[in-house]
Amino acid sequence: MKHFKQLTYPYMIWMIAMIVIPMALIVMYAFTKQGNDVATLQFTLEHFIHFFTDADFLHTLWISLRIAFITTILCVLIGYPIAYAIASGDEKRRNLYILLITLPMWINMLVRTYAWIGILSDNGLINSLLEMLGIGPQKLLYTDFAVILGMVYNFIPFMILQIESALAKMDKSLLDAANDLGADGLHRFLKVTLPLSLPGVISGITLVFLPAVSSFVIPKLLGGGGYMLIGNVIENQFISVGEWNFGSAISMVMAVIIMISMYVTRKLDKNDDALSRKRGKV
């Protein structure tokens, strides 16, 4: 047992160096004034007051939450049928489909997002097809549509894999029992398949919403330089403006929002598990 504990030491050192210390620095910068050295740090809440009293920053936060919410809903609506079709197939095809879904994830997200710039540009593939159909070129790039499309494309594999995993673990004898009791396909799905797959849906929502609400690469590339989400604001404060204190305060606000989202999804997951166990006893 002692040897096993020693194996955890490198991981603990890495955690402290890469997670604990950076988080401590963010907290310190968020609650102190800019330009103070360590010996004369002064506690302040002015960075948080500035954020919550500035209409532009609040509007950016609202847009970020709205874009993340739309992205999550689209990932559920598109990903669930795909995951259901994969889980319903035989094992060999299921493994092939999962490979095809995860294959784009082997490529860096920055490269994948750059590819959409060429596809959505005025002279890109989609506008060329629209022009052939007589619809004419449309403004696709640097719009909400482009940003949401890029986010759905990059994050939907997380949704599909979570839902497919939940559906694959489902006890198929429950569907046979529902069929023997006279339930049709729709009722079998609503009463058996959907409730048992909800933990996968909730896990997928967590894995999609959290990175979507804080994303900055996709909005920056597909939304153009003037398209700002909260992740771009944080990046701008740290890199361009040099306001590390204010950027840390915004990061703290986003951390609280993310923790609240994780708490809500975890509560929903526990409620679904309790409901499933209750139905099992019945």
Ramachandran bin of 43, using left for φ above 0, alpha for ψ from -120 to 50, beta for the remaining angles? beta
Find the mean pLDDT for residues 154-181: 85
Strand partners for 43:
32
Tell me the backbone φ, ψ of residue 126, rounded to 5 degrees. Answer: -65, -45
pLDDT band at residue 282 using 50, 70 and 90 as cut-offs: very low
Tell me the backbone φ, ψ of residue 32, rounded to 5 degrees. Answer: -130, 165
Pick the more confident residue, 272 or 116: 116
Coil, helix or strand at residue 63: helix
Lowest mean pLDDT among 1-10, 67-76, 172-181: 1-10
In single-letter form, the type of residue at position 36 comes to: N
9 occurs within a structural domain? no
260 occurs within a structural domain? yes
pLDDT band at residue 160 using 50, 70 and 90 as cut-offs: very high
Q: Is the pLDDT confidence value at 40 over 70? A: no
Structure tokens that stand for 172 in this block: 């198929």
Structure tokens that stand for 155 in this block: 């994050």
- pLDDT, residue 48, reads 92
Structure tokens that stand for 30 in this block: 């968020």
Burial class for 99, CB neighbours closer than 10 Å (0-12, 13-18, 19+): exposed
164 occurs within a structural domain? yes
Q: Is the pLDDT confidence value at 111 over 60? A: yes
Compute the half-sphere exposure of residue 242: CA atoms within 13 Å on the CB side of its CA: 2
In single-letter form, the type of residue at position 183 comes to: A
In single-letter form, the type of residue at position 278 comes to: K
Coil, helix or strand at residue 104: helix
pLDDT tens digits, one per residue of 207-219: 999 889 988 889 9
Coil, helix or strand at residue 44: coil
Give the total number of structural domains in the chain: 1
Structure tokens that stand for 246 in this block: 């204010």
DSSP assignment string, 194-249: HHHHHHHHHHHHHHHHHHHHT--HHHHHHS-TT---HHHHHHIIIIII--HHHHHH
Find the mean pLDDT for residues 260-274: 71
192 occurs within a structural domain? yes
86 occurs within a structural domain? yes
230 occurs within a structural domain? yes
With pLDDT > 70 as the criterion, what percentage of the chain qualifies?
A: 90
Contacts of 192 (CB under 8 A, 6+ apart): 174, 175, 178, 183
CATH number for the domain harbouring residue 73: 1.10.3720.10
229 occurs within a structural domain? yes
- pLDDT, residue 249, reads 92
32 occurs within a structural domain? no
Pick the more confident residue, 145 or 40: 145
CA nearest neighbour of 258 among 91, 65, 87: 65
Pick the more confident residue, 76 or 226: 76
> Distances from the Cα of 60 to the Cαs of 55, 105, 212, 231, in angstroms?
9, 28, 14, 10
CA nearest neighbour of 215 among 147, 142, 117, 140: 147
Q: Tell me the torsion sign for CA atoms 239, 242, 248, 250.
A: negative
Range of the domain at 168: 45-281
pLDDT tens digits, one per residue of 12-24: 888 888 888 888 8
The overall average pLDDT reported for the chain is 84
Tell me the backbone φ, ψ of residue 268, rounded to 5 degrees. Answer: -65, -40
